[in-house]
Chain A
């Protein structure tokens, strides 16, 4: 009997969906169970919100993630653009450097990098921002590199400049929109890594949402599941929000028919 291509695809999709979603659905169901297992309620979530340190830990994680994402873009976007426009011969070296955070153990990175960190930064949680940027580097580099490789950035820049635009206008109006998918991808990855990073934070004795979760989960197993589901839902919500905002089509600046300009 011939099995159609459509059936194979549908089955593969169903299998992948089951493997991905079934544990999530099961965890969600588990998180709503009342202690003792009889019936469902929001009691585990109420418990979660009432725990000491929940909001400060969540706030710290988001603050650090936002700063990491921003720093990542500030550092990487110009670097990648310059690399592709003016210094392509150094690309293999930068490629290698950006893979290093995957090779170097996090413990070595934490200790080594902290020693070289200025003293005023060692005493603040914001030192984690720099570590998060380093940890996210291999992923953000790839996301930006693939976006830049997909467009002929050199020709776009030359076209813009020859039409009379300054470098600043060229970057804002041409380069950034052209590699927007890479920037969003890079932002997603760096944000997700920063929000979920545990090892470095724990080694350096800072409290963020992942480290707080480990401590809180030891007191209440159903509460621990609720924390996981809550974290996952929050991450999906934030990333989807950013994605929707970024993907939203801008209104056309020049509308010839109505003679209007935004």
Chain B
């Protein structure tokens, strides 16, 4: 299918928004390039939904600018913005059929009937629901309803597509399927998309870039692999993926002593004083099992073992430490059992620390 209108650039410049004394957005800067899918990820209350609603025109910014193709949109009414939005809750109009729901935005634009019908058919084909055009929303499954909502949002050929946790109400299997469908359609149409979610797996899987938000600000925006392997802040390191927080101390310039090892600090770590106590953030997959004889190996008691197919999760109790989580390939952990004393070490070449 041919791409819709030329893709747009979406920019938020120093956007702030407060609700009473609560600061939802604190000088947010974000650029979504034409045809790009950016996911905003963060814990509840971090401001990601507020940012999306400001872009949609459902909230107003206290200050800052919202630009689409360098045109200021702050004062444009919500119904004049030409933005398609898919909501978290099922938002199909219950009194209208699938086809009428998709047609709704086209009618609002007073488009000719033949053009409308052509567009509705095209959208039904896009989300593979041609057979269901005369069904009412209550006759559809949750996944089908969200596909109709997506078709409805895309039918108006929006400048920007906004997705507000559209998969959160769906069960895991359907969620993963619809997620792939959304991505495929987004790539096919080349539409600039802003996607809000609190599910990091979802964000990592679907987005070109993921922006991690915390307390109304963007902590880091980067490609998913970069975000995971090179987190720019301790918050990103601990929020994206799982990280063991192991008591450690700074030793000399650029090193940290964690367990029995001395490891280089990540380049993103703040300046720290020699001897300063910190928490080392160590990914569970950055720890390996080793032999008892290695000098820098640490030892602990295996207290949990969960087999998850290709991966096995271990929980190790070490004296004076929180439980240390280790993720290993299942083929490497056949011989250890709960109650065994095991030896392990950190395999990462550099790690990030945060203040205690």
Q: Chain A contacts of B92 at CB under 8 A? A: 159
Bound-complex Cα distance A232 to B120 (A): 49
Partner of B89, one of A152, A250, A252, A259: A152
Indicate whether A122 reaches chain B with its CB closer than 8 angstroms: no
Indicate whether B79 reaches chain A with its CB closer than 8 angstroms: yes
Contacts A159-B85, A162-B79, A261-B113; A256 near B99 (Cβ below 8 A)? yes
Besides A159-B92, A162-B56, A256-B117, 5 other A-B contacts (C-beta < 8 A): A162-B58, A163-B79, A254-B99, A256-B121, A259-B114
Contacts A151-B94, A256-B99, A256-B117; A164 near B79 (Cβ below 8 A)? yes
Interface residues on A, range: 20 to 34
Residues 87-116 of B, flagged 1 when their CB comes within 8 A of A and 0 if not, give 101111111110110011100110001101
A residues touching B (Cβ–Cβ < 8 Å)?
151-152, 155-156, 158-166, 169, 173-174, 177-178, 180, 250, 252-254, 256, 259, 261
Residues 66-99 of B, flagged 1 when their CB comes within 8 A of A and 0 if not, give 0000000000001111111101011111111101
Q: Chain A contacts of B124 at CB under 8 A? A: 256
Q: Chain B contacts of A177 at CB under 8 A? A: 93-95
Partner of B93, one of A159, A250, A252, A256: A159
Q: Chain B contacts of A165 at CB under 8 A? A: 79, 104-105, 108
Contacts A152-B89, A152-B91, A162-B81; A253 near B104 (Cβ below 8 A)? no
- Which residue of chain B is the closest to A259 with respect to CB atoms? B117
Indicate whether B156 reaches chain A with its CB closer than 8 angstroms: yes
Q: Chain A contacts of B57 at CB under 8 A? A: 162
> Are A162's CB and B99's CB within 8 A?
no
Contacts A163-B108, A254-B103; A155 near B89 (Cβ below 8 A)? yes
Q: Which of B108, B109, B121 has the most CB of A within 10 A?
A: B108
Indicate whether B177 reaches chain A with its CB closer than 8 angstroms: no
- Which residue of chain A is the closest to B57 with respect to CB atoms? A162
Name 5 A/B residue pairs within 8 A (Cβ), A-sorted. A152-B90, A160-B104, A165-B105, A254-B120, A256-B134
- Which residue of chain A is the closest to B95 with respect to CB atoms? A177
By Cβ-Cβ distance, the 6 closest A-B pairs, closest first, are A163-B105, A177-B95, A164-B108, A159-B91, A165-B108, A162-B85
> Are B95's CB and A180's CB within 8 A?
yes
Indicate whether B48 reaches chain A with its CB closer than 8 angstroms: no
Q: Chain B contacts of A254 at CB under 8 A? A: 97, 99-100, 103, 116-117, 120
Bound-complex Cα distance A180 to B108 (A): 22
Bound-complex Cα distance A166 to B80 (A): 9
Indicate whether B245 reaches chain A with its CB closer than 8 angstroms: no
> Are B105's CB and A164's CB within 8 A?
yes
Indicate whether B283 reaches chain A with its CB closer than 8 angstroms: no
Bound-complex Cα distance A259 to B133 (A): 13
Q: Chain A contacts of B93 at CB under 8 A? A: 156, 159-160, 173-174, 177-178
Interface residues on B, range: 35 or more
Indicate whether B152 reaches chain A with its CB closer than 8 angstroms: yes
Bound-complex Cα distance A101 to B114 (A): 54
Bound-complex Cα distance A195 to B149 (A): 45
Nearest Cβ distance between residue A201 and chain B, in whole angstroms?
A: 38
Bound-complex Cα distance A158 to B85 (A): 9
| B4-55 with Cβ < 8 A to chain A | none
- Which residue of chain A is the closest to B94 with respect to CB atoms? A178
Nearest Cβ distance between residue B123 and chain A, in whole angstroms?
A: 11
- Which residue of chain A is the closest to B130 with respect to CB atoms? A256
Nearest Cβ distance between residue B86 and chain A, in whole angstroms?
A: 9
> Are A169's CB and B120's CB within 8 A?
no
> Are B156's CB and A163's CB within 8 A?
yes
Q: Chain A contacts of B95 at CB under 8 A? A: 174, 177-178, 180, 250
> Are A158's CB and B80's CB within 8 A?
no
Nearest Cβ distance between residue B243 and chain A, in whole angstroms?
A: 36
Contacts A177-B95, A256-B133; A158 near B58 (Cβ below 8 A)? yes
Q: Chain B contacts of A164 at CB under 8 A? A: 79-80, 82, 105, 108-109, 156
Bound-complex Cα distance A158 to B89 (A): 11
Bound-complex Cα distance A30 to B152 (A): 61
Partner of A252, one of B105, B120, B134: B134
Nearest Cβ distance between residue A157 and chain B, in whole angstroms?
A: 10
Nearest Cβ distance between residue B116 and chain A, in whole angstroms?
A: 8
Nearest Cβ distance between residue A9 and chain B, in whole angstroms?
A: 27
Nearest Cβ distance between residue A33 and chain B, in whole angstroms?
A: 49
Q: Chain A contacts of B78 at CB under 8 A? A: 158, 161-162
Nearest Cβ distance between residue A161 and chain B, in whole angstroms?
A: 5
Q: Chain A contacts of B58 at CB under 8 A? A: 158, 161-162
Q: Chain A contacts of B117 at CB under 8 A? A: 254, 256, 259
Q: Chain A contacts of B105 at CB under 8 A? A: 163-165
Bound-complex Cα distance A165 to B107 (A): 9
Residues 141-185 of B, flagged 1 when their CB comes within 8 A of A and 0 if not, give 000000001001100100000000000000000000000000000
